[in-house]
Structure 1
Amino acid sequence: MTQRIGNPLPFFTDKRGLPMDGGRLYVGEVNEDPELSPVTLYLDEACTAPIAQPLLIVGGFATDDGNPAFFYVQEDTYSLRVRDRDGGEVYYFADAVVEQDQWQPVNPGLSAIAALVTTAYGRGVLTQPDASALRTYLGMVASLPLSGGTMTGNILRNGGGPHVYHTNTAFTSGRIFITAAGAPDPTTLPGDIWLERAP
């Protein structure tokens, strides 16, 4: 594959069209004065390394400590002003965004998704059309069966209170009955508990 070579950095000129040297670049809120309403500039696309304004323009390039660099903002658009070395305004744009690639700050969750997409398994997970298809793809059951199966430990039943846990495996039931005094014994299974109210 071939690539066309181009200048990746913006180039700033003075009013005569010559490379600006010693100028200042200000970036601010859209449709506002960037010197009075600046936005935070960053040296990295993750927006973790802020840099102070104004940016010094050297040989036509905005620089960081004299070295041409890329700069980033988190805003979708911004205003921009350039002043020459004497402080005179060379140009001002109320909405200066250039149609180009936008950078998404690095996010651990997005990075994990991106890593997942690189595997066949991950692509399969992410391309399922709905939750039902995803459960089928992953071999997950929609819910616990209504009968049968084995469960260990203690569980809470929706609307039914706690399930009694017996350490004695001979006890097959965990029902608790509370009756009025003199009522007949309702227990029928090993592990049933009967509490009779005093008269």
Structure 2
Amino acid sequence: MEQLLRDKYYIKLVMMAIFIAGDLFVNSKSEYEALQVDEPTDTSQQLLFPPSNRSTAYEEMSQLQIILLGCSILLQASIFSAFFLILADTFPFQVGLLGVVGAQFKHMPIAQGLYSLMTISVGAMRLDQVFKGNTDIWSNAFYIIMSFFHKLGAPCYYAVSLRSAMRLGNEMYYTKEAWTSSGETISDAEAQK
């Protein structure tokens, strides 16, 4: 692989890893720290912050939850975009052998779709609880199950994403010789049949 393609590959791979780290950070924040409302503990604070002002804390919390869900969706789209940009530099992609190369990376779009669906589902349930004024999301058994599978699926999604991108670092994907027979591309040979 020529040096420019190799440099572009590594830049995109590092960006993908940064997006994954960002998604991991947002996941860790969204269920715990973002759902805490500082309730006054002593009576002097209750006089300064009467219950009518607590609605502001709930509004801030709901805004934060919307922002975190939006960031998570944006980061997941960025992860897939980084993978697609790496894929776009490969020889089979550039000559239109999408079926051949797509069959080798069929797990990536499946993992992306499932994980995004779980993220949106868990985020929507969390927002629903916050908009109802309930900060104890752990009292909902279905939410606990969904959150468990979302957190269990996250490392699998990250591994599939990184593994797919790292496989695209193989020189085979950037040389014509690996995809041609007797100087003809595979699609040319199939067209003659």
- TM-score using structure 2 length: 0.25
Question: Which structure is richer in relative contact order (CA contacts within 8 A, separation 6 or more)?
Answer: 2
- The structure richer in helix per residue is 2
- TM-score using structure 1 length: 0.25
